[in-house]
Amino acid sequence: MKAGFLSWLRSNDKEIIDKLEMQSTNLLKGTSALVEFISNFDNVTERKAKIKDLEHEGDRTTHDLYLLLDKTFVTPLDREDISSLTGAVDEILDSIDGTAERFVIFKIKEPTSYMLELAKILLSASQEVHLLMTRLRGFKNSADLIDHCRNIIKYEHEADTIYRTAIAELFETNNPIEIIKLKEIYETLEGALDRCADVADVFEDIALKYG
């Protein structure tokens, strides 16, 4: 009976880590799709639908993870850390979908170069998030986690600089409607980078606790 119970716990540990990796893999697909969406601004409706499908997939994985946490007595990491990680990744995907959605509903004719720069930086940050998730399995080296966290923070700072420059240029124009539309897209992209930084913060805590 005891051995079976421990075996069940190990099985749930593996499933939790599997789900986190699935979530970050899906995040990479979503961010790559957003870069493609902005880089090749054609077939907008179809490309937007692909991003929406990935966002729905992310929602399902997040839901499954929360259910798994509810029924797991002992988790491989602090329950709060796992919850924070899955929540932050879900919010990044929401922002990716929200960005594509705004291009469509605002009837944007052409993305700006700043939007593409921000999307590419978001992709780089998402790659670091995915690498961090894969390091959870058999985690041993806290220094490795910290390096990836620092990379994410570096990307977030780069995005802040681009965001400020884009907003400054935007307010030099005299079309208030366009200002509102473009500013909201910039803010949504920046918000996604902020959530990547949230993931880095959680991993820094994990490195301190378990390193």
- pLDDT tens digit string along 25-58? 999 999 999 999 999 999 999 999 999 999 999 9
Q: What is the model's pLDDT at position 11?
A: 59
Q: Confirm or reject CATH 1.20.58.220 for domain 2-210, answering yes or no.
A: yes
Q: Using CA atoms in the order 152, 26, 24, 91, what is the torsion angle rounded to 10 degrees?
A: 70
Residue 37: how many CB atoms within 10 A of its CB?
A: 24
For the packed helices 79-105 and 44-71, what is the interaxial angle rounded to 10 degrees? 160
- Give the whole-angstrom CA distance, residue 68 versus residue 112: 42
Which pLDDT band, with edges at 50, 70 and 90, does 3 fall under?
A: very low
Which pLDDT band, with edges at 50, 70 and 90, does 133 fall under?
A: very high
Residue 138 DSSP SS3:
coil
If you ran DSSP here, which 8-state letter would residue 34 be given? H
Residue 101: how many CB atoms within 10 A of its CB?
A: 17
Q: What is the model's pLDDT at position 10?
A: 53
Tokens 């929406």 locate to 52
Which pLDDT band, with edges at 50, 70 and 90, does 211 fall under?
A: low
Query: pLDDT tens for residues 81-129?
Result: 999 999 999 999 999 999 999 999 999 999 999 999 999 999 999 999 9
- Give the whole-angstrom CA distance, residue 49 versus residue 46: 5
pTM (2 d.p.): 0.91
The proportion of the chain whose per-residue pLDDT surpasses 90, expressed as a percent, equals 76
Question: Which of 41, 86, 92 minimizes the C-alpha distance to 202?
Answer: 86
* Averaged pLDDT, 165-170: 96
- Give the whole-angstrom CA distance, residue 159 versus residue 147: 19
